[in-house]
Amino acid sequence: MKKKTALVTGASRGIGKSIKESLLNEQIEVISPSRSELDLSSSESINNFLTNLSTSIDILVNNAGILKVGRHNELSAVDFHEILQINVVAPFEIISGVVESMKQRKFGRIVNISSIWGQISREGRSLYSSSKAALDALTKSFALEFASYNVLINSVAPGYVDTELITKYNTNLELEKIKKTIPMQRFAKKNEISDLVKFLCSEDNSYITGQIITIDGGFVCK
């Protein structure tokens, strides 16, 4: 049986790296392009990358994304266009570029890495929340288009995850305060996210599609 091939964006660190390692452990071939190979801010770069792919993609994980934080008077339309391009348009373009071969083979698994901030929000998150809400809507609509071809697409919406980024931008005291707002009183581990993604990308997932699966220790239930 031919090994399955996965394309994972943003796999150099954090959740993306954990997803890549999890899929490799399942003997799945993983393509994880660097930014120089695939610039998500450029539709031309995306098209060139997809055109030059030498193999069909069975599994796609759109993990790469950017965060812009600021109030309305601190951000511009340029900021909005940039975050929408990388967080929404790029996933749309990549999905569109690989899904036809999935449909032909009657197998495909797509996971978009979203965020709890697509479901709830707070001051300064208008652009990021908008982009993740749009990504979730894209997931649901595409699920309806692809379901009859056994191409399943879901969003995974993590809450706070123990990654390099959260420790980089918060002091130890701030981290402890954040933990107290989470019912489980801790951050998610990277493997808890990647294990969920791995299942959604597998043949064991034969019926879940169009879902926004929140993994946040109960944070959005408050």
Kind and range of the H or E run holding 198: helix 190-200
Using the CB atoms, write b or e for 203-215: b if 16+ within 10 Å.
eeeeeebbbbbbb
User: How far is residue 26 CA from its own chain's centroid?
Assistant: 19
Instruction: Look at residues 31, 43, 163 and name the one whose alpha carbon lies nearest to residue 91.
Output: 43
From residue 118, give the alpha-carbon distance in Å to each of 39, 139, 158, 162.
Answer: 24, 12, 10, 19
Question: HEC string of 65-126?
Answer: CCCCCCCHHHCCHHHHHHHHHHHHHHHHHHHHHHHHHHHHHCCEEEEEECCHHHCCCCCCCH
In angstroms, the CA 149 to CA 194 distance is 25
Question: Which pair of structure tokens corresponds to residue 191?
Answer: 């493997």
128, 160, 169, 207: which is the annotated catalytic residue? 128
d(CA 115, CA 132): 6
Nearest to 27 by CA among 64, 56, 1, 52: 1
Q: Shortest CA distance to 155 belongs to which of 221, 96, 214, 216? A: 214
Identify whether 128 is a catalytic site residue.
Answer: yes
Annotated catalytic residues are: 128
